[in-house]
C-alpha cells in the first residue's frame, strides 16, 4: 500500500530541476461530517425504502456507483478511499438516482432535517 509522505514530496520537488512541473494537488479523504451524513441520512433513508440492512444498502450503493470494470480485474471502490470532492460527487449521484428512479428524496447535507419525519 502506498503511503504519501507530504514532507518528503515537498523536499523532492524543491530540489527538482526547473523543467519538472511542481504542482501537486492533495485532497483529504472524505470528512467525518460527510461520513456521518452518508450513514445517518442516505443509508438510513434508503435502507428503510428497500428493506435492507445498513451494510447491504452500503454494498448496493458501492456496486451501483463505485464499480470499476475498466481494469483487468474489476473491483468496487470503498467510500473510505474517496476524497472530499469525489465523495460529494457520489452523494449528488445517489440523490439524483434516488429521486428520479424511486421518487425517494434525500435531503442535502446542510438541510434542516427537522422538516422531515425520519425515524432515526
Q: State the cell numbers at 59.
A: 454494498
Global pTM exceeds 0.75: no
Q: Predicted confidence band at 93 (pLDDT cuts at 50, 70, 90)?
A: very high
pLDDT in tens, 31-67: 888 989 999 999 999 999 999 999 999 999 999 999 8
- How much is the pLDDT for 50? 95
- How much is the pLDDT for 28? 74
Domain interval for residue 52: 29-115
On whether residue 120 sits in a domain, the answer given is no
Total domains in the chain come to: 1
On whether residue 17 sits in a domain, the answer given is no
Q: Taking a C-beta distance cutoff of 8 angstroms, is the pair 50, 60 a contact?
A: yes
On whether residue 10 sits in a domain, the answer given is no
Percent of the residues in the chain that have a pLDDT greater than 70, as a whole number:
72
- The Cα–Cα gap between 35 and 28 comes to 13
pLDDT higher for 45 or 77? 45
On whether residue 35 sits in a domain, the answer given is yes
On whether residue 21 sits in a domain, the answer given is no
On whether residue 14 sits in a domain, the answer given is no
On whether residue 89 sits in a domain, the answer given is yes
On whether residue 104 sits in a domain, the answer given is yes
Amino acid at each position: 500500500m502506498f503511503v504519501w509522505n507530504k514532507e518528503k514530496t515537498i523536499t523532492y520537488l524543491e530540489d527538482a530541476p526547473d523543467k519538472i512541473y511542481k504542482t501537486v494537488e492533495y485532497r483529504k479523504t472524505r470528512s467525518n461530517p460527510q461520513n456521518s451524513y452518508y450513514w445517518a441520512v442516505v443509508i438510513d433513508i434508503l435502507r428503510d425504502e428497500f428493506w435492507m440492512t445498513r451494510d447491504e444498502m452500503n454494498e448496493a450503493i458501492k456496486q451501483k456507483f463505485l464499480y470499476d470494470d475498466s481494469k483487468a480485474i474489476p473491483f468496487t471502490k470503498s467510500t473510505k478511499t474517496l476524497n472530499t470532492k469525489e465523495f460529494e460527487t457520489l452523494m449528488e449521484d445517489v440523490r439524483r438516482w434516488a429521486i428520479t428512479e424511486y421518487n425517494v428524496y434525500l435531503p442535502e447535507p446542510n438541510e434542516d432535517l427537522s422538516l422531515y419525519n425520519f425515524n432515526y
